[in-house]
């Protein structure tokens, strides 16, 4: 965006607005926007804008447009008191009805219904628009050549004059994700622009990666942003909740280790002293599910202590532990289904962490583990009082999984968790049908 211009969305939109800019033809913008409402009690649209003050005029030529197919596309220029969807505003642009009708649309009170005045009902591209503010009087014009202007309408709107917004709007007028693309050029402004007094641009390039006990987020830094809000939801259409803030363009979400949803979704917004940007395009990541099944393994415990059997390794309590009656012991699950293990978490017995060194995590499709696959071998004593996580890179599927302690390890482990990505959990194959003669 050029100096003093910024891009954001107004209201809730299906797809975040994008724009490209070139200085040719006295400022050329290509803006992709969506939004399901305009000119009622609320608006939703993509918005490229400057922060204006006092009397102000903006004009632009709409050179071309790629319509969304909704037959409700709306493109033009607009002045808004704020970024709130129900803010007072004045606009002029081409709207639905075959994209031939010019409207002067305004909302004269916050939250009020918009009023509409027809301009030329048989307008062809290209077309020029101009919006002029003098005091609280807003006057809208259209032109065929940018020289001779025809007044479409005028209205008095009580709007703050010390700081408000003027710019270009694009909406596909529907809930679909197919955007409307507008090609503007010959953009001219007259009046005071409050240099730099803009909310930051929307972050781009959001990337997610799984790591031990956390999800790592990275995105492109936004010029002028002083911080970022990180938000999470359990579905792409769900409600996003702010889970944290970051001073730089990176964040580690350590509040999620596993979940029952197939995916978690993240968005990021940028913040400065003037406000918050719209959310970045959402990105999602599959989070491993914690597996469960029938607990299997070495029976009994040292001196028959009831709280130290194999079940203690799977009880969700890091303070209990499995302590077998024999030096070499094991504990695991019969999953009842086939699964591809993607992560293993484990914690040692607090008083004997070294007893896990040499221990092996295995998968098998035989209940007796006669032909096991080694998934991971513990090479150093795990940290006491916390879960150590190990990412597993083995795409094989197993019904039976276990931890096999080393000789004289006595099965000592405080807690074990096996994780699997939802898409990697499978039903057991059907048994063959026996055909009798």
Distance CA 369, CA 45 (A): 60
400 and 261, same domain (yes or no):
no
Question: Do residues 41 and 49 make contact, with C-beta atoms less than 8 angstroms apart?
Answer: no
Report the pLDDT value the prediction gives residue 414, as an integer from 0 to 100: 96
223 and 307, same domain (yes or no):
no
Whether 425 shows a pLDDT value over 90: the answer reads no
Report the pLDDT value the prediction gives residue 97, as an integer from 0 to 100: 67
Report the pLDDT value the prediction gives residue 197, as an integer from 0 to 100: 58
Number of domains in the chain: 3
Question: Looking at the DSSP assignment, which residues form a beta bridge with residue 344?
Answer: 390, 418
Token pair in block for residue 416: 């074990």
Model confidence at 257, pLDDT cuts 50, 70, 90, reads low
Mean pLDDT of 204-210: 87
- Which residues, 6 or more positions from 358, have their beta carbon under 8 angstroms from its beta carbon? 377, 378, 406, 409
Q: 287, 303, 338 — which closes off a domain?
A: 287
**CATH code for the domain of 125:** 2.60.120.200
Model confidence at 316, pLDDT cuts 50, 70, 90, reads confident
| Residue 34 buriedness (CB in 10 A; 0-12 / 13-18 / 19+) | buried
In a domain, 198, yes or no: no
Report the pLDDT value the prediction gives residue 248, as an integer from 0 to 100: 94
Distance CA 8, CA 373 (A): 52
47 and 156, same domain (yes or no):
yes
- Which residues, 6 or more positions from 158, have their beta carbon under 8 angstroms from its beta carbon? 88, 108, 109, 136
Neighbouring C-beta atoms of residue 216, cutoff 10 Å: 15
Report the pLDDT value the prediction gives residue 432, as an integer from 0 to 100: 43
Model confidence at 216, pLDDT cuts 50, 70, 90, reads confident
Longest dimension (CA), the chain: 99
Report the pLDDT value the prediction gives residue 284, as an integer from 0 to 100: 87
151 and 37, same domain (yes or no):
yes
Model confidence at 430, pLDDT cuts 50, 70, 90, reads very low
Mean pLDDT of 207-220: 81
Whether 206 shows a pLDDT value over 90: the answer reads yes
Question: Do residues 166 and 50 make contact, with C-beta atoms less than 8 angstroms apart?
Answer: yes
Q: Minimal CA–CA distance to 280: which of 252, 249, 316?
A: 249
Pick the more confident residue, 111 or 201. 111
306 and 265, same domain (yes or no):
no
Whether 301 shows a pLDDT value over 60: the answer reads yes
> DSSP 3-state assignment of 302?
helix
In a domain, 433, yes or no: no
170 and 268, same domain (yes or no):
no
Mean pLDDT of 267-280: 87
In a domain, 138, yes or no: yes
In a domain, 437, yes or no: no
> DSSP 3-state assignment of 251?
strand
In a domain, 219, yes or no: yes
The 3 state secondary structure assigned to 194-220 is: CCCCCCCCCCCCCEEEEECCEEEEECC
Mean pLDDT of 159-165: 92
Q: What is the mean pLDDT of the chain?
A: 89
Phi, psi angles (nearest 5°) of residue 354: -70, -15
- Cis bond before residue 126 (omega within 30° of 0): yes
14 and 156, same domain (yes or no):
yes
244 and 315, same domain (yes or no):
no
pLDDT tens-place string over residues 333-391: 999 988 889 889 999 999 999 999 999 999 999 999 999 999 999 999 999 988 898 98
Structural domain range at position 278: 207-287
248 and 332, same domain (yes or no):
no
Model confidence at 82, pLDDT cuts 50, 70, 90, reads very high
% of the chain residues with pLDDT over 90:
64
50 and 158, same domain (yes or no):
yes
Report the pLDDT value the prediction gives residue 211, as an integer from 0 to 100: 63
Report the pLDDT value the prediction gives residue 48, as an integer from 0 to 100: 94
Mean pLDDT of 106-124: 92
Report the pLDDT value the prediction gives residue 262, as an integer from 0 to 100: 59
Whether 210 shows a pLDDT value over 80: the answer reads no
Whether 22 shows a pLDDT value over 90: the answer reads no
In a domain, 435, yes or no: no
295 and 266, same domain (yes or no):
no
Whether 234 shows a pLDDT value over 90: the answer reads no
216 and 180, same domain (yes or no):
no
Tokens 């030329």 found at: 120
Neighbouring C-beta atoms of residue 362, cutoff 10 Å: 19
In a domain, 199, yes or no: no
């Amino acid at each position: 965006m050029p100096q003093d211009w910024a891009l954001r969305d107004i209201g809730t939109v299906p797809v975040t607005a994008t724009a490209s800019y070139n200085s040719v033809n006295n400022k050329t913008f290509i803006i992709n926007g969506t939004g399901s409402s305009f000119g009622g009690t609320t608006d939703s649209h993509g918005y490229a804008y400057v922060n204006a003050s006092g009397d102000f005029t903006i004009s632009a030529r709409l050179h071309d447009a790629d319509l969304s197919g909704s037959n409700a596309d709306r493109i033009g220029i607009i002045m808004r008191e704020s970024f709130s969807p129900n803010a007072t505003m004045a606009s002029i642009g081409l709207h639905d009805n075959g994209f031939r009708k010019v409207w002067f649309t305004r909302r004269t009170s916050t939250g009020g219904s918009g009023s509409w005045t027809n301009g030329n009902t048989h307008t062809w591209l290209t077309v020029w628009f101009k919006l002029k503010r003098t005091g609280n009087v807003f006057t809208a014009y259209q032109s065929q050549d940018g020289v001779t202007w025809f007044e479409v309408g005028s209205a008095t709107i009580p709007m703050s004059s010390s700081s408000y917004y003027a710019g270009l709007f694009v909406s596909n007028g529907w809930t679909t994700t197919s955007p409307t693309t507008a090609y503007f050029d010959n953009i001219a402004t007259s009046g005071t622009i409050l240099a730099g007094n803009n909310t930051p641009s929307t972050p781009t390039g959001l990337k997610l990666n799984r790591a031990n006990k956390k999800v790592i987020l990275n995105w492109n830094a936004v010029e002028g942003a002083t911080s970022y809000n990180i938000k999470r939801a359990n579905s792409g259409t769900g409600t996003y909740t702010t889970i944290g803030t970051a001073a730089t363009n990176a964040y580690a979400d350590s509040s999620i280790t596993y979940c029952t949803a197939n995916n978690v979704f993240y968005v990021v917004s940028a913040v400065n002293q003037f406000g918050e940007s719209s959310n970045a395009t959402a990105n999602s990541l599959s989070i491993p599910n914690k597996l469960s099944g029938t607990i299997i393994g070495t029976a009994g415990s040292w001196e028959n202590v009831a709280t130290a059997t194999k079940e203690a390794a799977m009880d969700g309590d890091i303070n209990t532990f499995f302590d077998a009656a024999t030096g070499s012991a094991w504990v695991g699950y019969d999953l009842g289904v086939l699964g591809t293990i993607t992560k293993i978490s484990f914690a040692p017995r607090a008083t004997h962490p070294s007893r896990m060194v040499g221990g092996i995590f295995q998968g098998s499709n035989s209940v007796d583990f006669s032909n096991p696959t080694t998934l991971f071998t513990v090479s150093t004593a795990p940290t006491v009082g916390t879960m150590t996580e190990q990412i597993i890179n083995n795409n094989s599927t197993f019904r039976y999984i276990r931890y096999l302690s080393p000789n004289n390890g006595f099965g000592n482990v405080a807690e074990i968790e096996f994780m699997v990505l939802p898409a990697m959990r499978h039903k057991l194959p059907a048994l063959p049908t026996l055909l009798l003669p």
